[in-house]
């Protein structure tokens, strides 16, 4: 989806010096509003964890999920209370607790969503009374790629559904406090599977034999990356989960909080990556356009064969039209540094306007799992991020410097 106008993009590219990430605050607020029926929207910040984005989330009443000490630090920096009463503002979700993280979640009383029984044992031994969720792997999963399917026996995630009684035993034996049941079966999930997930949740709660106060629908809501991809009907999504919640309430005899944990849905469409065309060359049957951002910046095409809509702008912001079969690639020293490819690395040509050196190339729908998955590969500095809001554009992360790149090695 083209969230920004071509003129806006070209202006930002000049003003903040592309390559850079740009995000639209109004779009993020609009997506939050679509999920307001859920009692708690718990943002999976791995999608985009810039502290300014987290602050925006917090201002909108959105709570947060953290998966590492770094994400906990970001939540704190954005003003979240790490040890608030239920519903807890922050939940730490993982399948393992490394020693440093264990120490910190205990010290700060951070609620833990446990994806393994060992986590429960380790936490229970140190912190009786600690609040926990159980992340259950229901035995099936779905995702836009096999790499984003987080259920079933080929996924490392969650406590296996048949092990629920064993998990409850550890909770009882160590005196942990069970808050709720959580399920996240993958990223990029559609309706067909949703009914199945809701059914599994009701069945699990039915077999618990003990009380809980909340259930979590996890994340996974997809967005239309390609023209013609369906757009999720969030009202229907809520209805399905609300029906499951009502069944759970009947089983337990009291009101139950319904949480949802989206990442991509809230931020993907709000973001774009702007790069500059730096070389154009024909090789055999292929026409290559090379830009100054690579898979170290936007990794999704190389990792999953993900599709991002691309537009070509003249420097003054005029959007070009045309249909030249084009391979779009980056500057890295790897043949896989190609933005137009299928899962498995098959290079594809895409019909794009004729791009020339100096044009802007815009990768749309890059607000989720874009900047957060960037690396310093080839010793390339991390790109700046700009947030566009009513008051205008604001730099929310500056470009990494060469000195910063080398700093850790000054030992």
Between residues 319 and 343, which has the closer beta carbon with respect to ligand LLP? Answer: 343
Do the annotations mark residue 218 as ligand-binding?
no
The Cα 244–Cα 401 span in angstroms is: 50
Cα separation, 221 vs 143, in Å, equals: 10
Instruction: Verify binding: residue 261, ligand LLP, rule CB under 6 A.
Output: yes
155 to each of 135, 144, 147, 310, 321, how far by Cα in Å? 13, 14, 9, 32, 43
Closest Cα to residue 328, out of 350, 308, 343, 357? Answer: 350
Q: Is the dihedral of CA 77, 83, 84, 88 positive or negative?
A: positive
Q: Which stretch binds ligand LLP (CB under 6 A): 16-24, 215-223, 275-283, 353-361?
A: 215-223
* 148 sits near ligand LLP (criterion: CB under 6 A): yes
355: Cβ contacts below 8 Å, ≥ 6 apart: 277, 280, 289, 312, 320, 326, 361
Identify which of residues 52 and 264 has a Cβ nearer to ligand LLP in the complex: 264
Please tell me whether 262 is known to bind a ligand: yes
- Residue 142 CA to residue 219 CA, distance in Å, equals 12
- Within residues 361-380, the interface with ligand LLP by CB under 6 A covers 368-369
Cα dihedral 399→361→373→189 (10° resolution): 150
283, 333, 402, 408: the catalytic one is 333
Q: 369 labelled as ligand-binding?
A: yes
State yes or no: 334 annotated in a binding site: yes
Closer of 262 and 331 to ligand LLP (Cβ)? 262
Binding segment for ligand LLP (CB under 6 A), chosen from 116-124, 214-222, 284-292, 390-398, is 214-222
Could you tell me the smallest distance in angstroms from the CB atom of residue 88 to ligand LLP? Answer: 15
Among the listed ranges 21-29, 44-52, 198-206, 233-241, the one in contact with ligand LLP (CB under 6 A) is 44-52
Select the residue interacting with ligand LLP from 19, 138, 262, 331 (CB under 6 A).
Answer: 262
Indicate which single residue of 138, 219, 301, 353 sits in contact with ligand LLP (rule: CB under 6 A): 219
Omega into 126 within 30° of 0, i.e. cis?
Answer: no
**How many other CB atoms are there within 10 angstroms of residue 34's CB atom?**
18
Instruction: Give the nearer residue to ligand LLP in terms of CB position, either 84 or 372.
Output: 372
Are 152 and 132 a contacting pair, CB within 8 Å? no
Q: Which is nearer to ligand LLP, 215 or 277 (CB)?
A: 215
For residue 87, whether the previous peptide bond is cis, meaning omega lies within 30 degrees of 0, is yes
- 123-145 core/surface letters (b: 16 or more CB in 10 A; e: else): bbeebeebbbbbbbbbebbbbbe
Question: If binding is defined by CB under 6 A, does position 44 make contact with ligand LLP?
Answer: yes
Q: Is 404 annotated as a binding residue?
A: no
Does 263 bind ligand LLP (CB under 6 A)? Our answer is yes
Select from 202-210, 216-224, 233-241, 331-339 the region that touches ligand LLP (CB under 6 A).
216-224
Q: Does 40 bind ligand LLP (CB under 6 A)?
A: no
Residue 52 beta carbon to ligand LLP: minimum distance, rounded to whole angstroms: 19
Q: Is 56 exposed, middle or buried (0-12, 13-18, 19+ CB in 10 A)?
A: buried
Tell me, residue by residue from 59 to 98, as one string, x for binding to ligand LLP by CB under 6 A and - for no binding: ----------------------------------x-----
198 annotated active-site: no
Whether 186 and 142 have beta carbons less than 8 Å apart is answered as yes
Please report, as residue ranges, which positions from 116 to 145 form the binding site for ligand LLP (by CB under 6 A): none
Does the protein bind ligand LLP through residue 181 (CB under 6 A)? no
Per-residue x/- marks for ligand LLP, 273-302, CB under 6 A? Answer: ---------------------------x--
Q: Is 271 in the site for ligand LLP (CB under 6 A)?
A: no
The smaller minimum CB distance to ligand LLP, of residues 31 and 58, is found at 31
**Residues belonging to the active site:** 333
- List, as residue ranges, the binding site: 220, 261-264, 300, 304, 334, 369
- List, as residue ranges, the binding site for pyridoxal 5'-phosphate: 220, 261-264, 369
Q: Which residues bind ligand LLP (CB under 6 A)?
A: 44, 46-47, 93, 148, 150, 184, 187, 218-221, 261-265, 300, 368-369
């Amino acid at each position: 989806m083209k969230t920004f106008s071509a003129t806006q993009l070209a202006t930002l590219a000049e003003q903040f010096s592309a390559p850079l990430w740009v995000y639209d605050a109004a779009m993020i607020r609009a997506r939050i509003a679509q999920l307001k029926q859920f009692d708690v929207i718990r943002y999976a910040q791995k999608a985009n964890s810039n502290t300014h984005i987290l602050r925006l989330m917090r201002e909108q009443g959105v709570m947060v999920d953290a998966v590492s000490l770094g994400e906990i630090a970001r939540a704190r920096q954005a003003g979240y209370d790490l040890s608030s009463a239920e519903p807890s503002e922050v939940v730490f979700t993982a399948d393992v607790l490394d020693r440093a993280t264990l120490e910190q979640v205990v010290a700060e009383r951070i609620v833990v969503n446990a994806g393994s029984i060992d986590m429960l044992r380790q936490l229970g031994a140190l912190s009786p009374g600690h609040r926990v969720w159980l992340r259950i792997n229901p035995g099936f999963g779905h995702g836009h790629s096999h790499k984003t399917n987080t259920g079933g026996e080929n996924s490392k995630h969650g406590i296996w559904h048949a092990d629920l009684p064993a998990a409850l035993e550890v909770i009882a034996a160590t005196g942990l406090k069970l808050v709720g049941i959580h399920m996240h079966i993958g990223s990029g999930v559609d309706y067909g599977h949703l009914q199945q997930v809701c059914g599994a949740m009701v069945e699990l709660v039915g077999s618990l034999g003990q009380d809980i106060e909340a259930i979590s629908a996890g994340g996974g809501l997809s967005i239309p990356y390609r023209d013609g991809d369906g757009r999720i009907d969030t009202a229907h999504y809520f209805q399905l989960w609300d029906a499951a919640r009502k069944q759970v309430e009947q089983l337990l005899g009291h009101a139950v909080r319904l949480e949802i944990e989206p990442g991509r849905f809230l931020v993907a469409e709000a973001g774009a990556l702007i790069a500059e065309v730096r070389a154009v060359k024909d090789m055999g049957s292929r026409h290559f356009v090379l830009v100054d951002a690579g898979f170290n910046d936007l990794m999704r095409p190389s990792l999953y064969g993900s599709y991002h809509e691309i537009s070509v702008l003249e420097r003054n912001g005029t959007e070009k039209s045309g249909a030249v079969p084009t391979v779009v690639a980056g500057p890295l020293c790897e043949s896989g540094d190609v933005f137009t490819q299928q899962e498995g690395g098959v290079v594809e040509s895409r019909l794009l306007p004729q791009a020339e050196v100096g044009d802007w190339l815009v990768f749309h729908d890059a607000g989720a799992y874009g900047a957060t998955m960037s690396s310093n590969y080839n010793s390339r500095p991390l790109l700046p991020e700009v947030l566009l809001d009513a008051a205008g554009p604001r730099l929310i992360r500056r470009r990494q410097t060469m000195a910063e790149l080398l700093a850790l090695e000054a030992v």
